[in-house]
Each structure stands twice: as C-alpha cells, then as structure tokens.
C-alpha cells in the first residue's frame, strides 16, 4: 500500500512539508509506503476548457500535471497539503489540482475513484478551515472517502520549527496518518474477501434548464 503526499507550497521544505513529513513517518511506521510530491514553483497554466483530454488521454498543456496524473495512479491514498494564502489554498496548487482531477476523470483513467483522500493546511494564524474545505471538494466529487483526524487537519507556525512546537497540530497529523493506515488496511482486507467497488453507471449530466 502506498500513499502520495502532495506538497502544494512554493517552499519545498517549509511548514507544509513539516506537517506532511510527520504524516509520512507515521504511515511508514504502520507499514505504508509514502512519497512526498512537490509541485514546484514553476507557473502552472489554468485549464483551457478545451476538453481535448477526453480524446487524447492527457492534457494538451505539456507540464507537470501530466507527469503527476500518470505517476499518481500507482497509489492507494492521497494527502494534499497547502499553506494558507488569503484564507484559501495556494493559487498554484488549485490550478494544478483543477487540471489534474479534470484530466483524470475525463481521460478515462479514473485513477482517484474509491481511493482514500485527506487534506491538511498550514497557517501562521487563520484561514485553515476554509482551505481544508476547499481541498476536500476534490475528493468528494471523485467518489473518494475522506479521512479525518480528531480535529481539523491543520498546523500553525511561521516556520518549520514553530510548526514542530504545535504539539496538538502535530499530534493530529499522526492521528490522521493512523486513521488513513487503518482504512487502507480495511480496504485491502475487503478486496481479499471479494468486496469490490460499486458498479459504475453511465454519467447523467443535467442543468437547471433541462
């Protein structure tokens, strides 16, 4: 079992990375393989709404998003981490996720459905719950069970050392990781018993006119 932890901060080894590392270490202790994926600082183009990915199987914009979608399919669970920028997730991460999840769903890969997801936020002071709510929506629209901790999945601090001093926040990162490991193990046990995901139905699209 493998979990991919996405670092959506412009700072590769900053506060968000510190929280993700605590989760990764706890998952490793539970026998779960982990990888922290850094989306980088390079500009990420927004979705063009061309829908070409449905025919091509990948995005027409040839950047890190295509690499991520191909890489992510090998994992069983995902943790998306972001700093708080203006009471929301980082702009680069949202652009990245918008395209990644759209490509994954429209290209026929469907790599995220029924896999586990969780979101964490890092902030100096406020905006964390709004950020977590924002990130959770990517899981909820893709049939992904959302794993929680014992409190909102957040850490506080202005630098990695301060984050490590947030004892409650770091403890919740460990609790979140243990809950994620538990549900992954339950899912694996169910598959061995022949319990499979629900049968897919053809998608019905409607709007408020018809």
- 2 SS3 class: strand
CA distance 202 to 210: 18
Question: What are the helix (H) ranges across 5-127?
Answer: 15-29, 53-56, 64-72, 91-106
Q: Residue 205's pLDDT is what?
A: 85
Q: Answer yes or no: pTM beyond 0.75.
A: yes
What is the distance in angstroms between the CA of the first residue and the CA of the last residue of the chain? 43
Mean pLDDT over 91-104 rounds to 96
Would you place residue 210 in the very low, low, confident or very high pLDDT band (cuts 50, 70, 90)?
low
pLDDT tens-digit series, residues 34-62: 999 999 999 999 999 999 999 999 999 99
Q: How many Å apart are CA 122 and CA 23, to the nearest integer?
A: 13
Average pLDDT of the segment spanning 177-189: 97
What the chain holds in terms of domains, given with CATH numbers, is: 2-192 (3.40.50.360)
Residues 29, 36 contacting (CB under 8 angstroms): no
CA 86 to CA 69: how far, in whole Å? 27
- For 120-177, write each residue's pLDDT tens digit: 999 999 999 999 999 999 999 999 999 999 999 999 999 999 999 999 999 999 999 9
The DSSP symbol for 157 reads: -
The string of pLDDT tens digits covering residues 1-36 is: 999 999 999 999 999 999 999 999 999 999 999 999
């Amino acid at each position: 079992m493998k979990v991919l932890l996405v670092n959506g901060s412009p700072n590769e080894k900053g506060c968000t990375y510190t929280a993700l590392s605590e989760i990764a270490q706890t998952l490793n202790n539970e026998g779960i393989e982990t990888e922290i994926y850094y989306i980088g600082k390079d500009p990420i183009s927004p979705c063009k709404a061309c829908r070409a990915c449905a025919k091509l199987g990948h995005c027409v914009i040839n950047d890190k998003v295509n690499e991520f979608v191909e890489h992510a399919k090998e994992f069983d669970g995902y943790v998306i981490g972001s700093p708080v920028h203006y009471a929301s997730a980082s702009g680069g991460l949202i652009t990245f996720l918008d395209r990644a999840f759209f490509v994954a769903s429209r290209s026929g890969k469907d790599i995220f459905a029924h896999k586990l997801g969780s979101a964490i936020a890092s902030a100096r002071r406020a905006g964390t719950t709004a950020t977590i709510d924002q990130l959770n929506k990517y899981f909820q629209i893709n049939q992904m069970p959302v794993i929680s901790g014992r409190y909102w999945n957040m850490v506080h601090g202005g630098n990695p050392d301060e984050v490590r001093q947030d004892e409650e926040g770091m403890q919740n990162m460990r609790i979140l990781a243990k809950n994620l490991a538990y549900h992954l193990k339950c899912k694996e046990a169910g598959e061995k018993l022949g319990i499979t995901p629900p049968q897919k139905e053809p998608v019905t699209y409607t709007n408020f006119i018809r």
